[in-house]
Amino acid sequence: MFEKCSFRAADQSLTPRFNMSIEEFNGTIRDLTMPGLTKAGVDIRGKVSALAPFEVTGAIMPDAKNPFVDLKLKMKNDDLTPFTPYAEKFAGHPLNKGKLSFDLSYRIENRKLEATNMISLDQFTLGPRNNSTNATKLPVKLGVALLKDRNGRIDLDLPVSGSLDDPKFSIGALVWKAVENILVKVATSPFSLLGAMFGGGEELQYVDFPAGAASLDEAQTNKLNTLAKALFERPALSLEISVSIDPAVDREMVSRQKLQEKMKSLRLPELTSRGKPVPALGEFQLEPKDYERLLRRTYKETFKLDPERALKEAREAVAATNAPATSAMASSGVRPSMEIVKGATQLIRALPSQAPAQAPKPATAAIPGAATAKPRTAGELVLEEMEHRLMATSPATDDDLRELMKQRSASVQKFLIDTGKVTAERIFLVAPKPVDPNVKGLARATFSLG
């Protein structure tokens, strides 16, 4: 039994030097024998400071060959600033403020350790990075920001286990390894960790867009809602938004949109001349029959040729020379897509001016039960020919694609802010990268945490 005891510890190997003390503790260790023959009851209680009580309760049997430990350790509201020398050396940051509470349970039996470490850090705040050569390279401050809730608390559950027969056995090393695993997760897959807390997973790191668009479907907005919730609960985190495009698919779709806008601009004067109300261009929906009519008119004015004749001549040239479509059409300037030429047999059959060329026989027999594509009609082939050739006269530029990337960034930013859970000050837009047609990209916004 002991009463009104105190304890002081110092580590002079650190700069600044580490000092801490336990102001007062009392307690008993009953029935302790050496070597351990029976389990001794432990009941120690005290305070590290006036506001930081602690207790150690349980049982021990100090046998060197087969020790037994069943202890619970609890402490509340201990000031962490005395540990700043360790934080500066091993974390690479000074510890500006914070309080520590823990509830630990350690059991050693048959030389096996099973332990739980419930640790709470309140208002844990690190200072700027220093130049300590001993400091971990892991993102400690990002880890703190990701773990700290909106009330400034970090709650950790760190179970550890091990064998006393392991030559590398160390309780401190096991606990640090558990902490290090969290920091590694923060460094390598922070969104996976965030998803584990709030739902979702690694897919929280991005949202995908339809080709040529900056709009988001329900699956993507659901991810953004989860991300907004996570950012609300982790107010120390900031978000960077980087956007990308699929150079081929996005460029084609933007080219198609430009063509559609041009047809709308041709239709509006027609409505005006008839005294009909004219809506804004962005709100105007063009009827399919008007779209095709204006497309045909523009095609004839641009190429001085009917689209049916262009396709017919292309098919005849291919049949006569067995040359690639692009070469066969070069003399007339007509360059329909390969898909158009592949379907030209159906078109020729639909044209009344000549008998159709005989379709080539398939190289192999059809597979029983295999699905076959529905042949396109002559009208569909002609429409596609007109669209592809007119799109080629005014294709989407790199500036158009950069504008699309900016719209995608703005779309994600606006959605997150409109949830009311993330302020604009926490969201940063990364400037779009130059468009490289040789790099396969994705129509995507990708996020990073800071």
- From its phi and psi, is residue 300 left (phi > 0), alpha (psi between -120 and 50) or beta? alpha
165: number of Cβ within 10 Å: 8
> What pLDDT sits at residue 42?
94
> What pLDDT sits at residue 341?
46
> Chain-centre distance of CA 339, in angstroms?
36
> Chain-centre distance of CA 184, in angstroms?
17
399: number of Cβ within 10 Å: 9
Please state the three-class secondary structure of 231-276 as a single string.
HHHCCCCCEEEEEECCHHHHHHHHHHHHHHHHHHHHHHHHHHHCCC
Tell me: pLDDT of 347 over 70.
no
> Each residue of 233-243: pLDDT tens digit?
999 999 999 99
> What pLDDT sits at residue 187?
87
Contact 396, 207 (CB under 8 A): no
Q: Name residues whose C-beta falls within 8 Å of residue 424's C-beta, 6 or more positions apart in sequence.
A: 413, 417
> What pLDDT sits at residue 353?
41
Q: Mean pLDDT, to the nearest integer, of 96-105? A: 95
Mean pLDDT of the chain: 85
Q: Mean pLDDT, to the nearest integer, of 224-252? A: 95
Question: Which of the 8 DSSP states describes residue 17?
Answer: P
> Each residue of 429-443: pLDDT tens digit?
999 988 888 888 899
> What pLDDT sits at residue 122?
96
> What pLDDT sits at residue 322?
59
Contact 87, 62 (CB under 8 A): no
Contact 408, 442 (CB under 8 A): no
Q: Give me 176's structure tokens.
A: 């640090």
Going from the C-alpha of 278 to that of each of 270, 275, 284, 297, 438, the distances in angstroms are 10, 9, 8, 22, 42
CA-nearest of 149, 88, 103 to 124 is 149
The residue among 444 and 326 whose pLDDT is bigger is 444
Q: Mean pLDDT, to the nearest integer, of 345-350? A: 44
Residue that has been written with the tokens 């590290």 in this structure: 48
pLDDT band with cut points at 50, 70 and 90 for residue 152? very high
Q: Mean pLDDT, to the nearest integer, of 102-122? A: 95
This prediction has a pTM of: 0.77
Give me the percent of the chain exceeding a pLDDT of 70: 88
> What pLDDT sits at residue 243?
96
C-alpha span between 267 and 286 (Å, rounded): 8
CA-nearest of 113, 111, 129 to 175 is 113
Q: Mean pLDDT, to the nearest integer, of 89-98? A: 92
pLDDT band with cut points at 50, 70 and 90 for residue 181? confident
> What pLDDT sits at residue 309?
87
> What pLDDT sits at residue 237?
95
> Each residue of 281-309: pLDDT tens digit?
677 888 999 999 999 999 999 999 888 88
Q: Name residues whose C-beta falls within 8 Å of residue 346's C-beta, 6 or more positions apart in sequence.
A: 375, 376, 377, 378, 381
> What pLDDT sits at residue 204?
92
> What pLDDT sits at residue 391?
93
Q: Give me 122's structure tokens.
A: 């309140």
Tell me: pLDDT of 338 over 50.
no
- From its phi and psi, is residue 269 left (phi > 0), alpha (psi between -120 and 50) or beta? alpha
Going from the C-alpha of 188 to that of each of 138, 193, 449, the distances in angstroms are 10, 10, 12
Ranges 17-21, 49-53, 262-266, 313-317: which has the least confidence: 313-317
Give me the percent of the chain exceeding a pLDDT of 90: 53
Q: Is 51 exposed, middle or buried (0-12, 13-18, 19+ CB in 10 A)?
A: exposed
Domains of the chain: 2-188 (no CATH), 202-247+400-449 (3.30.1330.60), 287-359+373-396 (no CATH)
Identify the three-state secondary structure at position 168: coil
Q: Mean pLDDT, to the nearest integer, of 348-362? A: 40
> Chain-centre distance of CA 219, in angstroms?
14
Tell me: pLDDT of 175 over 80.
yes
Q: Mean pLDDT, to the nearest integer, of 185-196? A: 89
130-159 burial by CB neighbour count: b if 16+ within 10 A, else e? Answer: eeeeebeebbbbbbbbbbbeeeeebeeebe
